[in-house]
Every structure is written in C-alpha cells, then in structure tokens.
Chains A and B, each alone.
Chain A
Amino acid sequence: MRPSDLIQGTLDVLILKAVATEPRHGWAIAKRIQAASGDVLQIKQGSLYPALHRLEQQGWIRAEWRTNETGREAKFYSLTRAGRAQLDEELSQWERLSAAIRLALRNA
C-alpha cells in the first residue's frame, strides 16, 4: 500500500506507536513501520518528516540529537506524556472502528 492509500491520520498513529517503545530516529521509524506491517506498508520515506515535525509541534513527541548504532549523529524522537495519552486514545478509537467494520462486513 502507498501512503496516499493510508487512511488520513493513520501515519500519525503509526509514528506514535513506533516511538512508543523506545526513542528512534526518522530512518529507523520508517524501517520499523515497514517491518512491523510485514512489509505491506511501503511509505515514501520523505513523507515521514512533515508528519514528525507536525507531531513535535503538537507536543506529542519530542526530539533530541544522539549518536545512533553506527556512531553517527541522528535526531531521535520519543513519546511525551501527552503523546502517550494521544496514542492510547487513537488506539482505542482504531479498535472500535475496526471492530465495527469487521462486524459490519460479517453481517452484511
């Protein structure tokens, strides 16, 4: 699936989820989303950055410069408290929505 096929706003949840366990930098987040979806979601890596910066502006993630596993400087993003609350909110909404769709598809 291409990012334009993703439901609007889904990229935000995926990013929040990807940085929920540990701080990651942009490339790692892209890889993580790709791997976690079993390589189904191929996102254009560049489109990640506007979303990252938007989430940072909204105060859901914060950024800091650290060295990565290969010893290079990279900008690492981690979840803030507000971000975690937002993620929980979005996840439960997503659960409700997908459950509803599943139900609808089964009964229709």
Chain B
Amino acid sequence: MSFRWFDVARLRVRSLLRRGRVEAELDRELRAHLEAQIEENIRFGMPAEQARFEALRTFGGVDRVKEEVRDVRGVSLIENVARDLRYTLRGLRHDPMLLVAAATSVALGVGGNIAVYSLAREILFTTPDARAAETLVRMQVSHGSHASYPRWLDLNASGALDAVAGYSIDKQVNWFQGDHAVSLTPMIVTANFFEVVGVPISLGRGFAEPEARAERDPRVVVVSHAFWQRELAGDSTVLGRRLVLNGEPYTIVGVLAPKVRSVVGFGIAPGVYLPVNRAIVPEIRAPNAAVVVLVGRLKAGQTLVEGRAAVDAVDRRLGRLQGDTLYAGVQEFEPVGGLTGKMGRAARTFFGLLGVVSVLVLLIACANVAGLLIARGTTRRREIAIRLALGGTRARLLQQLLVEGFWLALLGTMCGAALSVAFMRLVNGLTLPIPVPIELHLAPDRATFAAALGLVFVSMMLCALLPALAATHGGLTPALKREERSYVGRGLRLRSLLLIGQVTVSTVLLVTAFLFVRNLARSQSTNPGFEVEDALVAELGLDEARSMQEHIAFLERAVDRVRGLPGVKDVAYSRVLPLSTHSGSSNGRSVHIDGRPAEHMEYALGQVGPGYFGAMGIRLLQGREFGSSDVAAGPRVAIVNEQFARRYLRGANAVGRHLRFTDDTTDIEIVGMVANSKHNSLGEEQRAALYHPVRQYTGGLGVAFLVARVRTNPAALVTATRRAIGELDRSVAVDVKPMRSALAFALLPSQVGAVVLGTLGGLGLVLAMFGLYAIVAYSVSRRVGEIAIRSALGATHRQVVGLVLRDSSALVGVGVLLGLGIAAFVTRPLTTFLVAGLSATDPLSFAATAGAFALVSALASWLPAMRATRVSPALAMRLE
C-alpha cells in the first residue's frame, strides 16, 4: 500500500509545483474528448457547426468541469486563495474610503485587545524569573500572609519541601546619600533566598548562607539592574561599594540581571534586596510576628498536593509544640506567579472585566466593517449574480468575499498592533503613586504576535462572514433585472439589526464607563472626615533600630521647626496617615469595658502625636487631645471615634471609660472622642477607631509623618519644609507633599478604573456612532428618489430631516433600551469596585448613557439628513 501513498503525494506535489503543465494537460485532455465526439457526430452525418454544438452540449460546462477537476486535485484552494488575494486587493485599492474606515475600526478594536491582553499577561500570568519557576510555590501557613522568623527556620529545616525561603516588601529603609536621605522599599529576604529561588544575577552574586544568616546581623545588599543603572550610574566597580541604610553601611555583593520579574508578581520590582537582620527586623525572635512570606521549592518529583500535605503536617506539629490550639496548617499553597490573596482576586476580577469589555469593543468595531461590507455587497449584487450565472459556485464566491475581509482585518490588525506597541511604551514609562517600585516590561513578543494573528482571523470572520453570506444568498433574477429594492431592503434590514446590536453592546460599555467615572468623582468628593486641602504631609523614613526616645525627640524638634515656618498654622506628628499605605492596622480583640465581661471588638488602630486631630482637621467632640504629658511611663490613654463609642461604649459619655484587653493587664483610660473619618479607603463603611499616643507605642518606628495645616498654597511650602526637617538629621529620608498628592494612592484604583473603562467605553460609543453615520448616510443615498418625490410634492426641509432622523432614532432607541436592560444585570458584580453609596445600577449613569446616545446619534444622522435636504428633485428623478 505504501507505494500508493507515495503516488498520491507525488501527484499532489506535481499538481502544485507544475500547475501550468497540469492545467495544459487538462486542457488537452478535454479538447481531445470534444474532438472525438465531434468526429463521431460528423460520422453520423451532422454538419460541422451542429456537430460541434452537440458535442459541447453532451459534455456540459467545460469551465465548471475544469474547476471540479482542480478541486479534486486539491490545487484549487491554494491557487484560488492566491488569485483572490490579488484580485480583492486590486478591488480594495479602488475603494480607499472603505479601506481607511475598516482599517481604523479594526485597528481600534484589535489594538485595545492586544493592549489588554499583554497587560493582563504581564501582571497576572507572568512567571517570575527564577530557576525552574514551575517547582516554586508560595504558601500561607497559620492565620496570616506572613510567617514568623522561627517558623520559617523550622519549616525550612523540616525537609517537608526541598527548601523554604521567605521575603517581605512591607518595610521601608532609609538610604543616606552623604547630604540627604531617601526612603526605599527593599525586598527583605531570608539568607537562602537567592539559592532557593535562583534569581538571575548579572554581576557578582546573590548573598547566601552562612554569611547572610540573620543571627549574624549581615550587612550585605544585592541591587536590581534598574537601581544600579539609575541610582549608581551603572558603575562597573560597584561590587564592594557601600550603601548607608538606616545609618549602617551595607556592602553591595551583586547586581540582578536586567528586567528581572520578582517572585512577588504584579510587576513589583524592589531596587534593593536585604537579608533579614535584627536592625531591620527587630522582631525576628518573636514567635508570632509577621516577618516573611514563604516561598518553597518542591522536591524533585513532588507534586503540589504532596508538597502541601507535607508542609501542612509539619506546620500543625510545630503549632501544637507551641501550644497553639487555633493552628490551622496550610492556608494557601500555589505555584508562584499565580494570583493568591485578596489583591490577586481583585486583579483577576478587574482584568476579567477588562477582557470582556475589550472583546465587546472588538465586536462593535467589526460590526462597523460588516455594515460597510453589506452595503458594498448590495452595490456589487450584479457582479455577483453574473458570476454565479457563469458557473461560479457559492463556496468560491464566499471564499473570495472572506479573502476581501482578510485584507481589511490584516491591515486593521497591523495598525492596531502598532497602536498597542505605542500603548505598551506609555505604560512601561508610567510611575504610580505607590512606595513600591513597579517595573512593567510590556513588549511585543511571540505570544502577542500569535494573539494578533488570531485576531486577524477572528476579525476577518466577524467582519466578512455575515456580509458574504448575505451577498451570495438568494436568486439571481432580481439582481440581473436590476430590481434593487428587494435585496437593498434585505441588506438594510441586516445592517439595522447589526446596528441595534452595536448600540446595545456600546450602551452596556458606556454604562460601565460612566459608573467608573462617577465612582472617581464620588471618591474625589467623598469627605474623608479630615481636611485634605491646605495641608502638607512629610513622610519621614526613620532608622527603626533607634530607640523610641530618640525618635520622639527628633519628631518634637521637627514639629517645632516646621511650626516656625511662615504660613504654617498647626503641626503634629503621627505614626499613621489615613488613606496612605501606612493607614494603621485593623484589629479584632477581646476587651473588658469598665470591668464588664469581655466582648469582641473590631476597630482601626492608629498611633498619633499631640495635637494630631487639630492639625488633621478632625473635630474633637469630647475630652482632650493627647498631650506631652501622655508619656510611655504614664497611665495608658486612648481616644476613640464616634463610631467606636456608639458601637461599643453604648453611652453618651466616652471620656472616663476604661478598657482592658483580655491578654493584657494594663488599664487604658479613654480621654477623648473625635469625629468619624476614613482610614483605609474612601469606599469603606464607617469603622470604629481607637487611637493611642505614639509615645506609648512599643514597636519599632520605621516611618512617621508630620502633618502641617497651612494658610497658603501648600505646594509653596514644600521646599522650605523639607529643608527645615532635613537640616535636623541628614540621615532621615524626608518626602514632603501637599496632602492631596500624598493621598493619591487612595484614589489610584478609582482613577485606573475610570481612565481605562472610560477610554474603552468612549471608544465603543465612537465606533457605534461611526456605524450609525454610515448606515444613515447609506440609506439616504438609497432613498434619494423617494426624498426627491416628497420634496417635489412639497415636503419641507424640516420634514425631510425628520424622516431621516425618525428612522435612525428608532434603531438607536431600541438598541439603547436593550443595552440598559442588559446593563442592569451586567453591572451588578461591579459593586466591589464602587465607593459606598454608589449603586451598580446608579440611575444617573444610566440616564447619562441614554443622553449621550441621544445626543451623539442625532449628530451622526444630522449630516446625512442635511444632505438629503439638498437633493434636487429634478436631478434625482432623472437618475431613477
């Protein structure tokens, strides 16, 4: 049998390679057949002419037979496609308007998709740069995202996995550069981190055990490639140089490879990697302090499930040894690069939404092109009918029309890809108002290319399939007889349906966009409970190893100096700043109130200095602020907010009440009550809050804030304030900003949402309106005769315009109504992203969408309507 396969292959190849010869042979073969038949007919006594005619009749259509033979030979598909590519390109070149309109539409749709796709891939699906990243897992044990240092030691030594390392990006250190200091967010890692993870290094080495064991208080540092280039001028002799961090010299031992994606994910790219030591992490001995996020390396051949079970067993045993009865073992155990935790889930939801939206935009864009092609199909109806009559098969014609769509899709996708590359550049260069450095390395790569290629075919089908089916559908006769009305009518009906679909989809998009814009406006105008304007914030990076007395002395002198600046009304220091990345902690503890049985309380906790509430503009409702008498050695005091008093104290008077936590013997007296304010986010429900004096705080102080209430424009005081504080202690990192910009972080999610979805929604609206314009213009051009007759019979301009507008507004109206109905369901899951008090079915957003459509669609049909009024009856009727 094998030789048969060979033969078949040989014939196929011959057909392909020597197409000319195969064609010629087929020609000769058929001619020989006809001649034989003619000869026979002549032998039977027919005259030559008739013999020829009869021979052709008995044979059937020669061209169709050839076509079928080509099909059999399997050549025709490729050959036809090649021919169609040439033919349709020539055709399209004569229709530059179609080309430009379609390419623009597809480019916008495809560009948006590629951009969202590459962004999602970079943020959500990128595996970190590590040796064999597929065997690296991120895990959560016990109750929190971070494990204690002893727990890390035990887990690593247990042998449950090949090895366990840890990292954290939650602290800031102070980098002293000779005359000033800046604050850095380092990646604080366990000594074995570089060995276990296998981060690529371009210069020097990663530090390792035993030199970097926390117990030896290592002073070594590895810097990122970007940090080396940006901050150290790419110095080739950088190894051995020292960085003064929190007042102590750290020796640079290595530089990471360029563009390393860290195990943290989300594009987070810390500039410096420090080993855990007692200076930066004073709490390393504490059995329950949250110190590091755990990253483990699976053993060879160990599956995720086996690894999880092994760690779980060890962790439970360790917990029991500590007498921890609440111990819950492994909470999460996932490959690195996966999206774990709350942040991951939110990001996933957001990108899911973004993905859906960008696909919808593509649909709208392709519907535009489909509309244009349907119009083109109706005008080319005669050409198509003639070709069908001459023996062209429908499949052949469909193929040609799809090939035409291919050109449009290809051109559009190429423009769209260019757009998205521009977008990637823009995003790569973006800096966000967050303390952790983010490096995104968006770049067109093989996956983007594959996605673009896929989009060419998807958009080809979306653009051309429906028009192609419509154009080749139905009998030939009306077309040949120029009975246009029947199929023009059908074409218009189909386009009208498409338009309704477009309007529906873009209504949904626009409602979403409006919701996010409203959300942003709401967040910006939401009263946080303190005065954001006319205030200045200085974020101070302190050396955490210093004692609290030293810190307080420094902070008090800083407060005095800033108070002395002209234009400053009031200044206070604090350990927390609401709505920043240091907004305090959320606590839940059992407490005795006034000696009553213990009850559970949940509250926001912050440590603030004397006069803080005055400087922040938070009203003091009862009692007093903290003063300089509330010292560490003095009686423990607290201030609560209104919500705390209402929920837990159940009495008019908060002042004078006493709290005692069940796991603590100290009595705390409430000395004041302040008005409610926001803590973590503007969208949060009002929380109960408890404040303590900074002086009575027992943890280390790495970051502190000065809040200054000013009389003038705060921006004008930034430099003076920075100098005033910097002169006091050059080792302190000082970052001064007007309070509004210091709180930019809180507005970031709403801003990103509003910008991204606003852009996509706007894009959808523009594309749909473009479609509306095209269809109204087309229907006007088709109704020239009718309009002419109406004008001749005395219709006024106003009536003609009304006629055109009535049709278009009916289409848009149906689409908008459908869209609003769908949106009411679709927007429901968006509630998570919206500030409190803004409903997902916000009537204003819905109304605004309907309004926007009414306005823009009136504009889109206005131009063609005006053209209709200029129709000269005499001229138009002569055309008929």
A53 interfacial contact with B, CB 8 Å: yes
**CA A72 to CA B7, docked complex, whole Å:** 28
Q: A53-B73, A70-B39 are in contact. Are A46 and B32 (CB under 8 A)?
A: no
Q: A45-B60, A82-B4 are in contact. Are A74 and B36 (CB under 8 A)?
A: yes
| Proximity string of chain B (1-27) to chain A, C-beta cutoff 8 Å, 1 when within and 0 when not | 100100110011000000000000110
Q: A45-B59, A57-B73, A59-B7 are in contact. Are A50 and B32 (CB under 8 A)?
A: no
| Chain A, interface residues (CB within 8 Å), range | 20 to 34
For chain B residues 28-79, which have a beta carbon within 8 Å of chain A?
Answer: 28-30, 32-33, 35-37, 39, 58-62, 64-65, 68-69, 71-74
Q: Are A47 and B65 in contact (CB under 8 A)?
A: yes
Q: Are B25 and A75 in contact (CB under 8 A)?
A: yes
A25 interfacial contact with B, CB 8 Å: yes
Q: Are B8 and A47 in contact (CB under 8 A)?
A: no
A27 interfacial contact with B, CB 8 Å: yes
A58 interfacial contact with B, CB 8 Å: yes
**CA A25 to CA B25, docked complex, whole Å:** 13
User: Closest CB-CB distance, A29 to chain B, in whole Å?
Assistant: 10
* Set of chain A residues within 8 Å of B71, measured between Cβ atoms: 50
User: Closest CB-CB distance, B199 to chain A, in whole Å?
Assistant: 59
Q: Are A44 and B58 in contact (CB under 8 A)?
A: yes
User: Closest CB-CB distance, A25 to chain B, in whole Å?
Assistant: 7
Q: Which of B1, B62, B68, B72 contacts A57 (CB 8 A)?
A: B72
**CA A53 to CA B71, docked complex, whole Å:** 10
User: Closest CB-CB distance, B772 to chain A, in whole Å?
Assistant: 48
Summed over the interface, the residue pairs from A and B with CB atoms below 8 Å come to a total of 73
Closest to A26 in B: B33
Decide if the interface of chain A is mainly helix, strand, loop or mixed. helix
* Set of chain A residues within 8 Å of B11, measured between Cβ atoms: 56-57
**CA A68 to CA B40, docked complex, whole Å:** 14
Q: A58-B8, A59-B4 are in contact. Are A47 and B60 (CB under 8 A)?
A: yes
Q: Which of B25, B36, B65 contacts A27 (CB 8 A)?
A: B36
* Set of chain B residues within 8 Å of A26, measured between Cβ atoms: 29, 32-33
* Set of chain A residues within 8 Å of B72, measured between Cβ atoms: 50, 53-54, 57
Q: Are A46 and B59 in contact (CB under 8 A)?
A: yes
Q: Which of B4, B7, B32, B69 contacts A73 (CB 8 A)?
A: B32
**CA A68 to CA B35, docked complex, whole Å:** 12
User: Closest CB-CB distance, B805 to chain A, in whole Å?
Assistant: 54
Q: Are B61 and A46 in contact (CB under 8 A)?
A: yes
Closest to A58 in B: B8
Most buried by B among A28, A49, A82: A49
Given contacts A28-B36, A49-B65, A75-B28, 20 further A-B contacts (CB under 8 A): A25-B36, A27-B32, A27-B33, A44-B58, A44-B60, A45-B33, A45-B37, A45-B58, A45-B59, A45-B60, A46-B61, A49-B29, A50-B65, A50-B68, A50-B72, A59-B7, A59-B8, A72-B32, A74-B32, A82-B1
By a beta-carbon cutoff of 8 Å, the part of chain B in contact with chain A is 1, 4, 7-8, 11-12, 25-26, 28-30, 32-33, 35-37, 39, 58-62, 64-65, 68-69, 71-74
By a beta-carbon cutoff of 8 Å, the part of chain A in contact with chain B is 25-28, 44-47, 49-50, 53-54, 56-59, 68, 70, 72-75, 82
The contact sample of 9 A-B pairs, CB cut-off 8 A, is: A44-B58, A44-B60, A50-B65, A50-B69, A50-B72, A53-B73, A57-B74, A59-B7, A82-B4
